[in-house]
Chain A
């Protein structure tokens, strides 16, 4: 056998592996597909929903599963499936803003702390510890107490509360990365710290941060749903999973499971899917760095 043949045979392999990267395993693929479906549902809810989510139909009150109402109807006779589909919107939008803000803020705080070190690091790290020690949900409720119910205040509060999760991680991996000779070689070449951070340090730590943010997304979704469940977040009659569980409580007492159960299952699936995706990305990063 000649050298050339063997080498091309090997060359083809990395390509194959790249395809498989998307499928960390069947579980990872399933989680990604589920999340993609969730986003599609949120975007196209008006096209997919069989009914207006807020339309009352008192004749259908607490109807069970049927061809008219696949997941039945709630106490006010609103179609559960339609509300579930619309609920994906606030269910995803809230956490999206929380994660986007907390990731940005966390990267900023973490990188600055790691890069500057010394007193700046001490100050930022202690501030993060302080935020970290407050339960995010409690801060969000306190915000709501001041501003009145609605999503804006709790989303901002949660974004702040989630910042230390990202910030601490970024600080520790940025510290490791900063000590690597490739970063030092850029310093020796005369680049400014700012340029090195933006062009070299950040892109190299980004996958790890992404993994953490995916996991945070699931938690934020759960926390915001809890706020809505408690009546502090999304206000009725807007369709929202957390609020639906709250409204479904009454139905539950009257023996109708679906109005509360359906949104609960949705939340659970979404949170688990985000965790799996996050862990999957983290695994890949670990393999790459090995």
Chain B
């Protein structure tokens, strides 16, 4: 099998004793191949953000980890400080939800874009030229003028483009985006997504796209992982996931999302609420909210298993085809 760009292998992350009753990540495995767009979907507390930050070696304070996070074959979790720096400046870039929080408001956009390149030894003039190219690539008009402006002179959507440009400056092979469009308006979201997908396809960058929005993930990703309570409960090709979810949670998420199409059924809520870190249910974490749960569901922990197609689901009853 060909080596993946990113491989998270059975990653478990525990907070220090007393801070949480269950691991925030529990045996998470996922992979992203070069040029692939992979979605990671979950609600608050699902662990999706922790998982995506682990790719950069960013872990919660005093957390204990098991498993590996390999980027191009090297385990990120055992990297030295220099190794991590090298990883972050050359191989992996991250885009966060709030562009205002990831840009120094006191500095010009040009400085923000070139500082990484300058640190990597690119001469000033070349770095500026490259920054201009990047701003042009993310659709900012008058890139030369933009370099001299400050972050507050940009709208949220424009600033997120600047952040994307900065993320691409180091020509990373992997882009990790944590809810990059959640803070944006829908029309702006469409534009930013259009830019991201175009650049990703042009450059063959692998991308891990983290979102709470299953619709969005299915619309733009090749494959989607669905997380619940720190575990991956289902993964499939995006189109299959949307048409034939195997896990009741995935099906529930799809059913509870309000749809704008004229003939769409009203959203059907999932009862209960996501499992907090203070709870550690035995068996399947979703059992308490699941319409299909049986007695054994609250005893036996389901493992990810392959069913008829390509996808994997962690549900004891997935083979019964209860959702079809």
**Physical contact A–B (CB less than 8 Å):** yes
Seen from chain A, the residues whose Cβ lies within 8 Å of a Cβ on chain B are 1-3, 6-7, 9-10, 13
A2-B22 Cα distance, complex, nearest whole Å: 11
Say yes or no: A3 contacts B18, CB within 8 Å. no
DSSP majority for the A interface?
A: helix
With a cutoff of 8 Å between Cβ atoms, the chain B residues found around residue A1 in the complex are: 280, 282
DSSP majority for the B interface?
A: loop
A3-B18 Cα distance, complex, nearest whole Å: 14
Q: Which of B18, B20, B279, B282 has the most CB of A within 10 A?
A: B18
With a cutoff of 8 Å between Cβ atoms, the chain A residues found around residue B21 in the complex are: 6-7, 9-10
Interface size on B, residues (CB 8 A): 9
What total of A-B pairs shows CB separation below 8 Å?
Answer: 22
With a cutoff of 8 Å between Cβ atoms, the chain A residues found around residue B143 in the complex are: none
Residues 252-291 of chain B: 1 if any A CB is under 8 Å from the residue's CB, otherwise 0? 0000000000000000000000000011111000000000
Seen from chain B, the residues whose Cβ lies within 8 Å of a Cβ on chain A are 18, 20-22, 278-282
A230-B281 Cα distance, complex, nearest whole Å: 70
With a cutoff of 8 Å between Cβ atoms, the chain A residues found around residue B282 in the complex are: 1-3
A6-B20 Cα distance, complex, nearest whole Å: 9
Say yes or no: A6 contacts B18, CB within 8 Å. no
With a cutoff of 8 Å between Cβ atoms, the chain B residues found around residue A6 in the complex are: 21-22, 278-280
With a cutoff of 8 Å between Cβ atoms, the chain B residues found around residue A13 in the complex are: 18
Question: Beyond A2-B282, A3-B279, A7-B279: 13 further Cβ-contacts under 8 Å?
Answer: A1-B282, A3-B281, A3-B282, A6-B21, A6-B22, A6-B279, A7-B21, A7-B278, A9-B18, A10-B20, A10-B21, A10-B278, A13-B18
Distance in Å: Cβ of B173 to nearest Cβ of chain A: 35
A2-B298 Cα distance, complex, nearest whole Å: 11
With a cutoff of 8 Å between Cβ atoms, the chain A residues found around residue B18 in the complex are: 9-10, 13
Distance in Å: Cβ of A12 to nearest Cβ of chain B: 9
Would you mind naming 14 contact pairs between A and B with Cβ atoms under 8 Å apart? A1-B280, A1-B282, A2-B282, A3-B279, A3-B281, A3-B282, A6-B21, A6-B22, A6-B278, A6-B280, A7-B278, A7-B279, A10-B21, A10-B278
